[in-house]
Amino acid sequence: MGEGVLRENCPWPGDSQESINSCDANLNRCCEIIELNSEIQGQLFTILNETSREGGHYAGVETIKTRLLPWLGTCFSCATSGRLFETNISLTQDSIDKERHLRELVGSQTSKLQELQEELTSTRLQLDHVQQDLAKSQLAFEDTKIKSATALLAAEDEIIQLKAETSCAQEKDVLRKLGRLNDYEQQIEILRDEISILDAQKSVLQSRLARSCFSSQRESKSSGPFPLKSCSPGRARHTNASRRACLVARFGDIYARERLYAETLLRTHISDMEMVQRIIYIAAVESFHAAKTAYRLFKIRVREILSIGHSGPESLEDAVLDYIVRHEDLYDVQASVNEVIRSMNINPKISFPPEIDFIVISSLIRELCLVAFSMQTLVPPLDVAFGTDGELFSETK
């Protein structure tokens, strides 16, 4: 069919028409036919392109490979049009290679996308599990927290109740012990008064026995069942210097030991060092005041007792002083300690935590009262130096 069309429109070698037309006319006619053929082929390739596009990226590939490409390779192998068709074949082959490469890329990207989607789904599942575990843990923690708070409140209530019961029991025990202590102190005071009276009567009997011995010029060893104590007249005055030195040394020992121990006890309750020193100073002053008061009362009692039958070689004052020196153990030091603590509790210059009492330094107060009472038996008596708050010891007095 194509050959007939070409024969009709183009002179064929050997035809009479070729011999009629000139060479230029025949060439022009051939060019027109080639142009017409190229237009037809362009339209055919356009239709082929649109038809293959309707099937998608990969539809019609096998048909093109099995029919179009072999036909293009066999039908357009002539020398005149070979370059054009080879170019079309190479372009078509490049297009096919690009499409195949594109399909491979799309396939690999699709598989990677599927893998990523699977990983994302797995991660989301794991995240959901973790969130569920976290919610369970939070619920368990809140439950444990509520239970712990409830148990803590119950324990605090029990502790408060136990403290109240313990405090009540301790108060009752303290009150009971204080009652017993007051009874004991009263009994001790009565016994000490009786002992003082008996000692005074003993001294009177010894004085009478001594006078009878001197008047009859007999030996005192066979005078009776009440031997006189070997005490020379004015013995307290004879030993005044030695006793003074011993008492000063004892006072220094109190300063070096008992005071530091009392400061340590007070520092556990009071952080102000100046207040601690003021408390110790006032304790010393009140101790000497209480000891001097007790000494005066004790001396008055002894003088009243000894004045009944005193007629010895020494004076009544020397006899009283000797008796006090020999019987310092009759001094009721606990009464003086209690008096000092009462005075300190009402002193406006010092303060102390309400849950603690000044009884914590009772050992220092006791030692100060004892040494102060003994210092009153000296001639002249020793006393703490006058000073302001915080001053306590003086080397000259």
9-18 in b/e form (b: 16+ CB < 10 A) is: ebbeeeeeeb
Asked if pLDDT for residue 397 goes beyond 50, the answer is no
pLDDT at site 206: 58
Question: Most confidently modeled of 66-80, 184-198, 276-290?
Answer: 276-290
For the record, the structure tokens of 288 come out as 């000497």
Question: What does pLDDT average to over the chain?
Answer: 77
Judged against a pLDDT cut of 90, whether residue 370 lies above it is answered with yes
Q: Measured between alpha carbons, how far is 310 from 366 in angstroms, rounded to an integer? A: 33
The CA distance from 241 to 182, in Å, is 39
Residue 44 belongs to what domain range? 2-103
Domain boundary (103, 118, 141) is at: 103
In a domain? residue 206 = no
Determine the residue type at 246.
C
Is residue 277 pLDDT above 80, yes or no? Answer: yes
- The better pLDDT of the pair 356, 230 is held by 356
What is the reported pLDDT for 15?
57
> How far is it between the farthest Cα atoms of the chain?
213
How sure is the predictor about 60, in pLDDT bands with cuts at 50, 70 and 90?
low
State the pLDDT at residue 288.
94
Across 31-35, 207-211, 341-345, 366-370, least confident range: 207-211
Band (210; pLDDT cuts 50, 70, 90): low
Q: For residue 290, give the amino acid letter.
A: A
Distance (Å, whole) CA 291 – CA 50: 133
Q: Tell me, what's the pLDDT at 74?
A: 64
Residue 174 lies in a domain: no
| Residues 390 and 274: beta-carbon distance below 8 Å | yes
**Angle between the 259-267 and 362-375 helix axes, to the nearest 10 degrees?**
150
Cα(64)–Cα(100) distance, integer angstroms:
14
- Per residue in 118-168, pLDDT tens? 999 999 999 999 999 999 999 999 888 898 888 888 888 889 988 888 888
Q: Among positive and negative, which fits the CA dihedral 179, 183, 188, 189? A: positive
What does the DSSP 8-state code read for residue 309? T
Q: Please check whether residues 243 and 387 belong to one and the same domain.
A: yes
Centre a 10 Å sphere on the Cβ of residue 103 and count the other Cβ atoms it contains: 13
**What mean pLDDT do residues 315-344 have?**
89
The answer to whether 331 touches 298, Cβ cutoff 8 Å, is yes
Structure tokens at 357: 């009492």
Going by C-alpha positions, the residue among 299, 308, 292 that lies closest to residue 373 is: 292
Last residue within a domain, chosen from 36, 71, 103: 103
Q: Mean pLDDT over residues 216-224, rounded?
A: 39
- Please give the structure tokens belonging to residue 114: 């599927």
Look at residue 208 and tell me whether its pLDDT is greater than 70.
Answer: no
Q: How confident is the model at residue 64 (pLDDT cuts 50, 70, 90)?
A: confident
If one compares 227 and 250, the residue with the highest pLDDT of the two is 250
Helices (H), 66-222: 69-75, 82-216
The C-alpha torsion from 76 through 82 and 87 to 93, rounded to 10°, is: 40
Whether residue 35 lies inside any domain: the answer is yes
Contact assessment for residue 234 and residue 325, using Cβ atoms and an 8 Å cutoff: no
CA torsion, ordered 8, 14, 16, 22, to nearest 10 deg = 90
Q: For residue 26, is it within any domain?
A: yes
Report the 3 state secondary structure along 71-82.
Answer: HHHHHCCCCCCH
**Is residue 263 situated within a structural domain?**
yes
Flag whether 297 is in a domain: yes
Asked whether residue 212 carries a pLDDT value surpassing 60, the answer given is no
Residues 99 and 235 in one domain: no
Please state at what angle helix 362-375 crosses helix 333-345, rounded to 10 degrees: 120
| pLDDT bucket at 196, cuts 50 / 70 / 90 | low
Confidence band for 283, pLDDT divided at 50, 70 and 90: very high
Give the residue from 69, 103, 137 where a domain finishes: 103
How many whole angstroms separate alpha carbon 356 and alpha carbon 335?
20
Residue bearing the bigger pLDDT, 231 or 91 = 91
Backbone φ, ψ for residue 225 (5° rounding) = -80, 0
Asked if residue 311 is part of any domain, the answer here is yes
Count of structural domains, the chain:
2
> What DSSP letter does each residue of 326-392 carry, written as one string?
HTGGGS-HHHHHHHHHHHHHT-TT----TTS-GGGGHHHHHHHHHHHHHHTTSSSPP-PPP--TT--
Give residue 172's identity as a one-letter amino acid code.
Answer: K
- Is residue 248's pLDDT more than 50? yes
Does residue 301 belong to any structural domain of this protein?
yes
Q: What is the pLDDT, as a whole number, of residue 394?
A: 46
